[in-house]
Amino acid sequence: MEQIFFYILAAVVLIATLLAITERHAVHAIVYLATSFFALAGIFYLLGAPLIAVFEVIIYAGAIMVLFLFVIMMLDMGQPEKARGPSLKQWWPALLLGAIILGSMFTLFATTIPETLAGWSYTDAREFSRVLFRKYGVAVEVISLQLLFALVGALYLGRRKLP
């Protein structure tokens, strides 16, 4: 049962991402992307990481994508109807390099990975936070510092000069 959900959600992710990257209009692209992130959150839940799924929706789709929308709307980038997507000349290096990397990855995945126990397990918040704050406590501190830097930097870069 869960397998079917996984594949459906995987299809949604792929289609949404594909639409996002080929969309000329930036806002449409971001909305597609949010869709893709929702589906990805579902996949995270199916893989036994409900906390990460929640964080994905709240932080990624909720904060970061909204931030993108703010910036796009704040910047006056001209008529979106007249925006031109990349031409074939722009696309072919992407396709070529993407194909190479994809091919290499599939080749590498061809090595068999030993199966462990089947079944679906589920990491609850208690266990997650135990590992996070005990084992990776220093990482938490560092990340909070980093968020502080980012905040200060964003404030500084975005200031308007006083006349």
Partner 1 sequence: MIVPLTHVLILAGIIFVMGLACAIAWRNNLIMILIGIEIMLNAAMLAFVGGGAHWRLVDGQVFSLVIMALTSSEVSLALSMVVYLHRRKKTVSADEFSEMKG
Partner 2 sequence: MKLYLSLILLLPLLGGIINALAGRFLPRKGSELLACGVIWGAFAASIFASLEYHGAARIDLMGWLSAFDFQAPVSLYIDPLSLVMIVMITFVCALIHTYSIAYMAHEEDYVRYFALLNLFVFAMLTLVLAENLPLLYLGWEGVGFCSYGLIGFWYNDEENATAGRKAFIVTRIGDTAFGIAIVWMFMLLGTVSITELNNLGSTLPMATVTGIGILLLIGAMGKSAQMPLMVWLPDAMAGPTPVSALIHAATMVTAGVYLLARMFPLISPSTTAMAAIAVTGGVTAFYAATCAMAQRDLKRALAYSTISQIGYMMLGVGAGAITAATFHLLVHAFFKALLFLGAGCVIAAMHHEQDIFKMGGLRKRLPLTYWPFLAGGACLAGLPLTGGFFSKDSILAAVWLKGGALYGGLYLLGLVTALLTSIYTFRMIYMVFGGDDSARKHCDSAHACKVPGLMEWALVPLALLGLFGGLLNLPSYLGGGWLNGFFSALPGGKEAEASHSLELTLQAIAGVLALAGLAIAHMRYGKAHRQERIAAAEGDAPGFVTFFQKGWRFDDLYRFLFIRPYEALSGFLWHQVDEGLIDGSLDRLASFLGRSGEGLGAWTSGKVSVYIISFAAGAALVMAYTAWFLL
Residues numbered 62-121 forming contacts with partner 1, rule: CB under 8 A: 63-64, 67-68, 71-72, 74-77, 86, 90-91, 93-95, 97-98, 101-102, 105-106, 109, 113, 115-121
* Number of residues this chain uses to bind partner 2 (CB under 8 A): 11
- List Cα–Cα distances, 55 to 42, 61, 72, 109, in angstroms: 11, 9, 24, 29
- List Cα–Cα distances, 15 to 56, 120, 128, 130, in angstroms: 19, 26, 31, 36
* Binding-site partner at residue 107 among partner 1, partner 2, none, CB < 5 to 8 Å by type: partner 2
Pair of tokens at residue 31:
């909305």
Residue 62's CB: how many other CB atoms inside 10 A? 14
Q: Which stretch binds partner 2 (CB under 8 A): 16-24, 28-36, 91-99, 149-157?
A: 91-99
Residue ranges that bind partner 2, judged by CB under 8 A: 93-94, 97, 100-101, 103-105, 107-108, 111
